[in-house]
Structure 1
Amino acid sequence: MDTKEDKEHSAPSIPRTANSGAHVIVRLTSPVSTSELRADLLDADYTVDRLRGLWGPVADAALGRDNPVPARRALAGLEHPAALMARLFLLGDLVDDDALGRAFPRTGAAGLRERGVLGADGRALVEVRPYSAVDTTGVVNWWVASDHGELVRRAPLSPDHVLGVGGASLTLAGLVPTSPARRVLDLGTGSGVQALHARRSADRVVATDLSDRALWLAALTLELSGVEGVELRHGDMFAPVAGERFDRIVSNPPFVITPRERGVDVLEYRDGGRVGDGIVDEFVRALPDHLEPGGTAHLLGNWEYRAGADGLDRVRGWVEAADLDAWVIERERQDVAEYAETWLRDGGVRTSSAAFEPLAEAWLDDFAARRVTHVGFGYLTLRRPPDESAPRLRRFERVATAAPSGASGLGDAIAAGFAAHDQIASLDEGAFARMHATVAPDVTEERHFWPGAEHPTVMRLVQGTGLGRVVDLNTGLGAVVGACDGELPIGVLVDAVAQLLDVDASALAAEVLPRLRELAVVGMITLADHRE
């Protein structure tokens, strides 16, 4: 028997058209023109800026903490169409048909119900959230259709729950470079956030998901946002794109490590049905078959620390098995108890509920069976080498903080790092010393002195964008970097500094040149073969 929950989460049927038996293409049809609903959203100026103006900074911050009370109080009595839309779609309020007719003059309440976004009781069945983004191609305003979270539901999430815009989707969007691409794959598209971003720089985008509901909501997101050129396909992992290659692959796969036993809720958006961290392992090993030479993949993931073994070493093994270039950043590591608590809360299970303790036991039993002590989380940028014979770039690091993404996002910084590696990896010391170096414009130098001291006790280079690195300097490296203005070759600068400091030039070169290579890869200096 269908429950009320089942009816709330039943998406309109999705017609599918087989394509040569290789994959299934999703075609969304609706009895109500989506263009009418999109026009209503546009006319209402239903945007991030408009809503912040209506409910103010205090309410905006409270909503970020899942507290709707200040926003609901601010919107009470307002007849502005955007206020009514926010009450309906974001706060989950009951809005009568007359008010909906005023807010949606083209679509009306009946059209919203036919479209599958409004229930018979006048409450929204989905969240339609304004989403604003900025990248190197400019500013854009979209609308993302997803399921309501706990702020509206006040109950644990259903198995087919589809996430909207959140911290993970914003992080992943910043991890993807903005350079042009011919074909991009958004694997596990969910509500379609990454497909929106990908289409900004790609000629064509293929977006896949195993969830019927996710595909329906992604199609609604794309239609409401006026984004074309995205093909939706149904299927698990790489099955929908068998035999195809892409210039870029983007994914926030369902990587959450979940016990494989009865009684443990499985949420489609986060559980890929594999044991432990197997889904990230499987993803990485499959990439060579789906990337063009020089193509890159950008994803988030978890990895296990087993019996004291380093989790990043596990990732290194996956990368080496696939023979890929890699830049992997671990941003966080949790012990298994904290990890279980985090994801139980994410699914709506509070520590005060009767279900918490048996579920926590199941998670800890699952970890104990594999002798897992901690779980790492981070970002993976992987590349199929453009030249199979070239030296590989493989960086596995822990970075506590990174500069905010945006026009100078992390994805562009890492892409520049790959380019710098390609530029210098094959150069011997002599050839590298003939390069000309310039300090990047976002890099500053800090010096700290003891009171009254003539010389600094600490010198650092500080990066303003990308990974926001802080690099300690000694006197020799600091002097060479300080002279890097592109005028003279690196080797000449090293010789001059050695003479100034009265040290052996060969010894200084042996110390400084490897560190300059590192500074080039992480984007703190740029290199040229000769003076421009």
Structure 2
Amino acid sequence: MTLDSFSDRHHGRAVFATMTPDDRAAIGAVRDDLRAAGYDEAGVRAVLGMPVLDLQPAAFHHLDRHVLGVDPLAAAVRLFLLDRAVDERTVRTLLSEPSLDVLLLLGVLGETDGGFRSQVHITCAHDLLLATDTGRYSDWWGGADDLGDRVMYIGYDSAGLANVAPRSRAGRTLDLCSGSGIQSLVASRYSDEVVGVDINPRAIRFARFNAALNGIENTTFVLGDLLEPVSDREFDRIVANPPFVPEVPEGAHLLYRDGGPDGERLLAQIVSGAGQILAPGGLMSITTDLFNLEELPRRIGEWLGAKDGFDVLVLVERQFPVWAYADTHASHALTARERTEYAVRMVDALGDVGISTVHTGYIVVCRQPGGGPRQGTVQTVSLASPVTRPAGAHVADHFRFLDRDLDGHTDGVLRPNPAVRLVTSAPPGGPETHRLVAPEDDYVADMDISDLTRKLWQATVTSDVHWSVIRGSALEAVARELIRQGALTLDDLPPAAA
């Protein structure tokens, strides 16, 4: 059974199945009504007392009964985030008649006990409104098993990918495993054209609704298996949030989650396709779990076929003990015993395929611009924290630095990251220690530095330090490491006077 078939059987229709281009104006009215109520990231965070991505079902009752008021914003939160029925009078203070009519027509809202209930969540992220499926805890589903075609909620991996992917201007962007369409809609702001691909028909409908809900018109969503619908085209940017959780034997196969026995079945296909559809100078950004991190560069090289012509940046957010990773993915179980049993099975499944370490993070692949290829690189950077703010400029700088002719005639000036500051400590009776910190930059991890590094850093703050001056000296290696960590950038020289 699929969620579409379950919805059709119990609620008379599959969500968004009847949507047509003629509904765009009414869907736009939904956006206007929600915005007028203050339903955005800042407004929802204020009434919840937490970021919307931190919201958990355990908090629903407390928020509903003891926190939220009776204004339109509270009604929107109850209706679209807390799975609560809201009486008709209150809903009509939130939604205009065209909005209410189209949400009923598309199966988003259903009538219940003199009010309405939403069959979907509408989450606020990246200044977007994003419809996704609710969880199994919603009364809509009556305890049904987690069904394979669920359109995944917006999590920190989805939001993080949108922050990691560089946002420099692009002609054409591809969004693989597009799900709700969040990556496509963010990319629409810096791309002339965006194509989203997903194998799940339900996800395609959700993504098309979300594009209409946000008034975005330069995105197209097509049904297909990874690169198959777009194999004859090149893209300047690719973003991908593939299923990456290792499958547990005898468990339900979920399209949005399962990445094969080792979690890398789809990841390997996507990376290997870079040479086929990524334009020279193009960037492919992927969010994924990183298994056996020390061996990952070798596997990436195998997926690419050869690293020449490609550079890869692996960004590591955090590490999970294997047992904690398994326990997290057992949270769907209905009882404590079932959760324990599932976690045990996952631990054994991970062990059977040789997974001994688990990190979360991102993989970014750059196809070198024309004129190469030179020998490719795979570099790893440990991030300061989960990426909740834009960090794509650091990623773009990393590859721009690699592509410069640093041993030839290219020169530039080392510039400090303005978010980074130097902290010097002098413990009683001990030597001074120096540390670079960037509490407002998720990319740049705190780092203890040598006195030589401190001197270079301070020089970049107070004067122009030219690459040509430090090239070939002991400072070159220091500068390269600071650039790799995002603490420095290498700016081009201004054009010479005529």
TM-score by shorter chain over 0.5: yes
**Superposed CA offset, 1:91-114 (max 9, x none):** 212223444334323236554321
**Superposed CA offset, 1:193-231 (max 9, x none):** 112211111111111111111111111111111111111
- Picking from 321, 336, 344, the partner of 2:306 is 321
Other structure's SS at 1:190 match: coil
Mapping for residues 59-138 of structure 1, pairs under 5 Å = 63=55, 66-74=58-66, 78=70, 80-107=71-98, 110-121=101-112, 122-129=116-123, 131-133=124-126
Deviation at 1:365, TM superposition (A): 4.3
Partner of 1:387: 370
Mapping for residues 201-212 of structure 1, pairs under 5 Å = 201-212=190-201
**Residues 1:437 and 2:414 are matched in the alignment:** yes
Partner of 2:151: 162
- Picking from 415, 418, 434, the partner of 2:396 is 415
Q: How much identity, in percent, do the aligned residues show?
A: 26
- Once residues 142 and 225 of structure 1 are traced to their aligned partners in structure 2, the CA distance between those partners, rounded to angstroms, is 6
- Once residues 392 and 217 of structure 2 are traced to their aligned partners in structure 1, the CA distance between those partners, rounded to angstroms, is 24
Q: TM-score, structure 1 length as denominator? A: 0.79
Q: Letter of the aligned partner of 1:446 in structure 2?
A: V
Q: Structure 1 regions of 5+ residues with no counterpart?
A: 16-25, 134-140, 495-508
- Once residues 27 and 278 of structure 1 are traced to their aligned partners in structure 2, the CA distance between those partners, rounded to angstroms, is 35
Larger radius of gyration: 1
Deviation at 1:191, TM superposition (A): 1.1
- Once residues 85 and 62 of structure 1 are traced to their aligned partners in structure 2, the CA distance between those partners, rounded to angstroms, is 17
- Picking from 336, 354, 363, the partner of 1:352 is 336
Partner of 2:220: 231
- Picking from 284, 288, 294, the partner of 2:281 is 294
Q: TM-score, structure 2 length as denominator? A: 0.84
Sort the Cα spacing of 1:343 and 1:106 in 2 relative to 1 into closer, same or farther, 3 A: same
**Residues 1:467 and 2:453 are matched in the alignment:** no
Deviation at 1:5, TM superposition (A): 8.8
**Superposed CA offset, 1:272-307 (max 9, x none):** 45754222111111111111100000111234339x
Asked whether the 8 Å contact 1:5–1:158 carries over to 2, the reply is no
Sort the Cα spacing of 1:424 and 1:159 in 2 relative to 1 into closer, same or farther, 3 A: same
- Once residues 51 and 325 of structure 2 are traced to their aligned partners in structure 1, the CA distance between those partners, rounded to angstroms, is 30
- Once residues 266 and 353 of structure 2 are traced to their aligned partners in structure 1, the CA distance between those partners, rounded to angstroms, is 16
- Once residues 461 and 273 of structure 1 are traced to their aligned partners in structure 2, the CA distance between those partners, rounded to angstroms, is 41
Other structure's SS at 1:73 match: helix
Sort the Cα spacing of 1:238 and 1:6 in 2 relative to 1 into closer, same or farther, 3 A: farther
Asked whether the 8 Å contact 1:147–1:164 carries over to 2, the reply is yes
Q: Letter of the aligned partner of 1:234 in structure 2?
A: L
Deviation at 1:401, TM superposition (A): 2.2
Deviation at 1:446, TM superposition (A): 2.1
Q: Letter of the aligned partner of 2:433 in structure 1?
A: V
209-218 vs 335-344, greater mean Cα deviation: 335-344
Asked whether the 8 Å contact 1:303–1:314 carries over to 2, the reply is no
Asked whether the 8 Å contact 1:438–1:486 carries over to 2, the reply is no
Partner of 1:447: 424
Sort the Cα spacing of 1:450 and 1:45 in 2 relative to 1 into closer, same or farther, 3 A: closer
- Once residues 205 and 528 of structure 1 are traced to their aligned partners in structure 2, the CA distance between those partners, rounded to angstroms, is 30
Asked whether the 8 Å contact 1:189–1:251 carries over to 2, the reply is yes
Sort the Cα spacing of 1:51 and 1:378 in 2 relative to 1 into closer, same or farther, 3 A: closer
**Superposed CA offset, 1:6-65 (max 9, x none):** 6459625759xxxxxxxxxx9766599323433433443433334445x35279798457
RMSD: 3.5
Partner of 1:196: 185
Other structure's SS at 1:479 match: helix
Sort the Cα spacing of 1:29 and 1:159 in 2 relative to 1 into closer, same or farther, 3 A: farther
- Once residues 92 and 385 of structure 2 are traced to their aligned partners in structure 1, the CA distance between those partners, rounded to angstroms, is 46
- Picking from 33, 41, 65, the partner of 2:26 is 33
Deviation at 1:436, TM superposition (A): 4.1
